[in-house]
Amino acid sequence: MASEADQKIIDGVEKYGWFAQSVAPRSDSDDPQEWFTYTIGLTKTHGWPEIICFGLGSDVAYGLLADAIAECETRAICPSDGLVLTDTIKGYDALLVNGAAIPDSYFGTGTWYARRVGTEAPPARLQLLWPDSAGKFPNDPACSEGVRRSQTPVGGTE
């Protein structure tokens, strides 16, 4: 029998095709720039990697993830490393990059769900990057330090 929280995830994936899990890395963190949000269920429903977004409050990150998924569905493309998304952020591009170096611990509930439904666990993952005000992504040395830092998981991705 699933807990109430687990059932919410199961129901969300069944109803919408995915679920978003937001996490504060420290229990006392109220700084949205320290948060991260990732999808659960895309592997099961779409055959896609899960997608994670760092450095934004849960509502904003959820909106970006929802728009990225909708853009991929509309364009009938599978999210992949290096994919530029042009309709996800108004006035800017978004970028998907390989998230394999992000520690598995960031995907705890996603790994639980993947094992429950018999998909790859821990799940394959991509990171959704958002740009600084000049349109530079964190993987570009010209990107502002604050934007780069807020999108780098604790321990880094390299």
pLDDT for the residue 109 = 94
The yes-or-no verdict on residue 18 having pLDDT over 70 is yes
Backbone conformation region of residue 151, classed left if phi is above 0, alpha if psi is from -120 to 50, else beta: alpha
| CA–CA dist 73, 67 (Å, integer) | 10
The whole-number pLDDT of residue 30 equals: 64
Residue 19, φ and ψ in degrees, nearest 5: -135, 145
Q: How far is CA 63 from the centre of its chain?
A: 11
Read off the tokens for 147.
Answer: 């934007």
The model's pLDDT over 83-101, given as tens digits with 9 standing for 90+, comes to 999 999 999 999 999 999 9
In whole angstroms, what is the distance from residue 72 CA to residue 106 CA?
24
- Kindly report, residue by residue over 117-135, the tens digit of the pLDDT: 999 889 999 999 999 999 9
The dihedral through the CA atoms of 102, 106, 108, 111 has a sign that is: negative
CA atoms within a 13 Å half-sphere pointing along the CA-CB vector of 34: 8
Q: Considering only CA atoms, which of 52, 58, 65, 57 is closest in space to residue 17?
A: 65
